[in-house]
Amino acid sequence: MGTDPENGKLDGSGGDLDRKFWVAMAMFAALAVLVWLTMGEGSMLVFGRPVELRLVPLIVIGGLVLRTVLARQAEKIRRSGGNDSS
């Protein structure tokens, strides 16, 4: 993977990006398991309802997973759109 001199962006093959995506998903899963196993079972009130403390970092990790999935989909759309136009 190097720098494309025309637009200054990093060029990478689709296979390389897919591999990075799945590595990121595995890391997010491992992090979620570690959060679940290491955090205590405490709770706090959110809008008057008790919420387990474990859920807070899991929601943050879920947001990062969503962002990663959307970024991958956007990159696929950009790559397919770039091939159709001349």
**pLDDT, tens digit only, all 86 positions of the chain:** 444 545 545 556 667 888 999 999 999 999 999 999 998 888 888 899 988 888 889 999 999 999 999 999 998 888 887 665 54
pTM over 0.85? The answer is no
Residue 79, number of CB atoms within 10 A of its CB: 11
